[in-house]
Structure 1
Amino acid sequence: MGDQAIRAALDRHWAASDANDLEAEHRIYREDAVLEYPQSGERIRGRRGIQWSRAAQPNRKRFAVRRITGAGDLWVTEYVLTYDGRPSYTVSIMEFRDGQVARETQYFGDPFEPGPSRAQWVEPIA
């Protein structure tokens, strides 16, 4: 699978995630995929386990992709994941094998107030 096909699969994945289409969202994963959340120390094995763990979350989620970059078997998506109106700035690192995700690691960062000590060098992000 070439880079254009993987990019198209990622676009479909994130659109399905935002639409809460759990079946379409999880087509990108291999049956034996592994998902890790380092901040909580969790590892989930298998496409269905990943899907069921997400389906069990009671929150309403929205996904706003900011940037996707990658080539070959390694792709990174930066996005804002909003749970019930609260944003979390997120990075997803996906490793592909045979055209599907074999491993994904997700990192989450909550927003914080800007530091006044650097105010003269910064501009706000819209």
Structure 2
Amino acid sequence: MDDRAVRAALERHWNASDANEFEVEHEIYRDDAVLDYPQSGERIRGRHNIQESRRVQPNKKRFTVQRIIGGGNLWVTEFILTYDAKPTYAVSIMEFRDGLVAAETQYFAEPFAPGPSRTHLVERMGETT
């Protein structure tokens, strides 16, 4: 699978994630895929279990992809995951084998106020000068 095909598969995956299309969302995973959530200490083994864990998640969620970068067997997606209208910044690291995701690790971070000690050194993202 070349990089263009992987990128297309990732775009399909994230679009399906946003639309709650669980079958399409999980086509990208191998049957024996592993998903890790380091912040909660959880590991989910197998495409079926990954899909079921997302299907039973009770919150209303939206995915807004910020960027997808990678090549070969390693791809990273930065996105905003909004649960019940509360945004969380997230990173997904996917490792591919034979054209499908064999391992994924997701990291999550809530927004926080900027530090006053560095105000004079920064510009606010999304603002123009």
TM range (shorter): over 0.9
| Equivalent-residue separation in structure 1 for 2:22 and 2:73 (angstroms) | 23
How far residue 120 of structure 1 moved from its aligned partner, in angstroms, is 1.1
Q: Aligned runs of 1:46-85 on 2, under 5 Å?
A: 46-85=46-85
How far residue 121 of structure 1 moved from its aligned partner, in angstroms, is 1.5
Q: Secondary structure at the match of 1:54?
A: helix
Q: Partner residue of 2:108?
A: 108
How far residue 125 of structure 1 moved from its aligned partner, in angstroms, is 1.6
How far residue 17 of structure 1 moved from its aligned partner, in angstroms, is 0.4
How far residue 22 of structure 1 moved from its aligned partner, in angstroms, is 0.5
1:60-92 alpha-carbon deviations (Å, 9 max, x no partner): 010000011000000000000000011110000
Runs of 4+ in structure 1 displaced over 6 angstroms? none
Count of residue correspondences: 126
| Equivalent-residue separation in structure 2 for 1:47 and 1:109 (angstroms) | 25
Q: Secondary structure at the match of 2:31?
A: strand
Q: Partner residue of 1:6?
A: 6
TM-score (norm 2): 0.96
TM-score (norm 1): 0.98
Q: Secondary structure at the match of 1:118?
A: helix
Q: Secondary structure at the match of 1:77?
A: strand
1:41-66 alpha-carbon deviations (Å, 9 max, x no partner): 00000001000000111000100000
* Structure 1: segments with no counterpart, 5+ residues: none
| Equivalent-residue separation in structure 2 for 1:11 and 1:3 (angstroms) | 12
Kindly report the root-mean-square deviation, in angstroms, between the aligned alpha carbons of the 2 structures: 0.6
How far residue 122 of structure 1 moved from its aligned partner, in angstroms, is 1.3
Q: Secondary structure at the match of 1:51?
A: helix
Q: Secondary structure at the match of 1:36?
A: strand
How far residue 13 of structure 1 moved from its aligned partner, in angstroms, is 0.3
Q: Secondary structure at the match of 1:9?
A: helix
| Equivalent-residue separation in structure 2 for 1:22 and 1:69 (angstroms) | 23
How far residue 124 of structure 1 moved from its aligned partner, in angstroms, is 1.4
